Amino acid sequence: SGINAEYGITNNLSDNTRIKRKSLVPEIKLHLLDKTCPWYYKRNVPELANDPFWSVFWPGGQALSRFVLDNASIVKGRSVIDMGCGCGATGIAAAKSEAKVVLCNDIDECAIEAVKINFMLNKLDCPSLSTENLLDSVDLLNIENSTIFLGDMFYDETIAKKIVSWCLKYTGQRNSIFIGDPGRWGLDFIRDHISQVAEYQIDDEDCDEFRTVAVYQFKC
Predicted confidence (pLDDT) at residue 218 exceeds the cutoff of 70: yes
Residue 52 has what pLDDT? Answer: 79
Phi, psi of 98 (to 5 degrees): 70, 35
Neighbours of 218 (CB within 10 A): 22
Contact present, 30 and 20 (Cβ < 8 Å): yes
Q: With CA atoms as reference, report the closest residue to 197 among 54, 70, 12.
A: 70
Residue 102 has what pLDDT? Answer: 97
Region 182-200: what's the mean pLDDT?
93
Q: What is the model's pTM?
A: 0.90
Contact present, 80 and 94 (Cβ < 8 Å): yes
- Collapsing DSSP to helix, strand or coil, 1 comes out as coil
Q: What is the residue type of 129?
A: L
Residue pLDDT, tens place only, 53-112: 888 999 999 999 999 999 999 999 999 999 999 999 999 999 999 999 999 999 999 899
Contact present, 63 and 89 (Cβ < 8 Å): no
| Helix-strand-coil split of the chain, %, nearest 5 | 40, 25, 35
